[in-house]
Amino acid sequence: MEAVYSRTKTLNGNLLGFCPGCMHGTVFKLIGEVLEEMNIDSSTTAILGIGCCGLAQEVVSYDLATAPHGRACAVATGLKRANPDTIVFTYQGDGDLASIGLAETIHAANRGENITTIFINNGIYGMTGGQMAPTTLVGMKATTAPGGRDPGQHGYPLHMAEIIDQLIAPVYIERVSCNNPANVRRTKNAIRKAFRNQIECRGYSLVEVVTSCPTNWGLNPGKSLGFLEENMFKEFPLGVLRDNTEVK
């Protein structure tokens, strides 16, 4: 029988430790497939943020370093500037990218660093157990906002794609999700485009993936999808915010 589907070679077969219903695994699979299809996995380095993504460090086959919490875009800047031929991407959660690493994120984007950022927005701190993130929705409960996010105390969710869209330098900004097969395909296309931009030296690309966190949302995977579609997508609408890919 002809094999029509197999695991990407960029995943080494070690078990992924993500919770049921978590989308980190899907995104790592998509990244791996893109790298393999574009035949760039042997020249690619991942800079992981600190968070649940660390669970993938021994699962992917390409080069990898872990950055201090929030500093992935600075580490990527140094690596890419010193090694323009290496394909460098950062992979960061919302606490990492939008809270502690806000300065590094915005300044790397503003310098137009020729890197790719994959931003996993699950509206909560996953790894540390459900604390409030800068992207937590108004009213959404977190262990450090037991009464739910209250704008009077905590302000409003940060819209990172829109914030970065205020900058002149970035070439490509898209918000996607992995809640159904069509969106998984869109996510893969967005990731491919973001890497192609880097190969063609166009500059900074951001792919924000809005995802669920069943464990820390306190919902089962099915209900998490419902919450994602009804609430997260309202706050973080999917779509292309900027695409200067064809402009030279």
Partner 1 sequence: MSKKLFLKGGEAIAEAAVRAGCRFYAGYPITPQNEIPEYMARRQPQVGGVFVQGESEIASVNMVYGAGASGTRSMTSSSSVGISLKSEGISYCASARVPMVYVNMQRGGPGVGTIQASQQDYFQATKASGNGGFRMIVLAPSTVQEAVDMTYQAFDLADRDRNPVLILGDGVIGTIMEPVVLPEMKSDEEVAALKAKHHGWAIVGHSREEKRGFLTPGFWSTDSLEAHCLELEKLYSSWEENDVQVEELYLEDAEVVLVAYGTSARIAKSTMEIMRDEGCRIGMIRPKTVSPFPARSFDRINYDTCRCVLDVEMSIPAQMLYDVRLGVKDRAPVECCLRSGGNLIEREDVVKEIKKILEGGGR
* Binding residues among 19-48 for partner 1 as defined by CB under 8 A: 41-45, 47-48
104 touches partner 1 (CB under 8 A)? yes
The least distance separating ligand TPP from the CB of residue 158, rounded to whole angstroms, comes to: 12
The least distance separating partner 1 from the CB of residue 61, rounded to whole angstroms, comes to: 6
Which among partner 1, ligand TPP, none contacts residue 51 (Cβ within 5 to 8 A by kind)?
ligand TPP
Taking residue 119's Cβ as centre, other Cβ atoms within 10 Å add up to 24
Per-residue exposure over 17-56, b if at least 16 CB sit within 10 Å of its own CB, e if not: ebeebbbbbbbbbbbbbbbbeeebbeebbbbbbbbbbebb
The least distance separating partner 1 from the CB of residue 193, rounded to whole angstroms, comes to: 21
**Closest listed residue to residue 95, CA positions, set 33, 37, 41, 52:** 52
* Binding residues among 54-73 for ligand TPP as defined by CB under 6 A: 69
Which among ligand TPP, partner 1, none contacts residue 66 (Cβ within 5 to 8 A by kind)?
partner 1
Three-class DSSP category at 161: helix
Which among partner 1, ligand TPP, none contacts residue 44 (Cβ within 5 to 8 A by kind)?
partner 1
Which among ligand TPP, partner 1, none contacts residue 215 (Cβ within 5 to 8 A by kind)?
none
122 touches ligand TPP (CB under 6 A)? yes
**Residue keyed to tokens 């309202």:** 234
Which among ligand TPP, partner 1, none contacts residue 245 (Cβ within 5 to 8 A by kind)?
none
Q: Which of 16, 19, 66, 233 binds partner 1 (CB under 8 A)?
A: 66
7 touches partner 1 (CB under 8 A)? no
Taking residue 1's Cβ as centre, other Cβ atoms within 10 Å add up to 3
Q: Phi and psi for 27 in degrees, rounded to 5?
A: -65, -40
Q: Which of 25, 32, 126, 214 binds ligand TPP (CB under 6 A)?
A: 126
From 76-84, 192-200, 201-209, 239-247, give the range in contact with partner 1 by CB under 8 A: 76-84
Output 197 or 212, the one with its CB closest to ligand TPP.
Answer: 212
The amino acid that residue 145 corresponds to is A
What letter does residue 180 receive in the DSSP assignment? S
**Closest listed residue to residue 26, CA positions, set 222, 230, 209:** 209
The least distance separating ligand TPP from the CB of residue 136, rounded to whole angstroms, comes to: 10
Q: Where are the alpha helices (DSSP H) in the chain?
A: 24-37, 72-82, 94, 102-111, 151-154, 160-164, 181-199, 214-217, 221-227, 233-235
* Binding residues among 123-142 for partner 1 as defined by CB under 8 A: none
- Strands 87-93, 63-66: pairing is unpaired
Sign of the alpha-carbon torsion through 214, 217, 223, 224: negative
Contact footprint for ligand TPP (CB under 6 A): 49-53, 69, 93-96, 120, 122, 125-128, 133
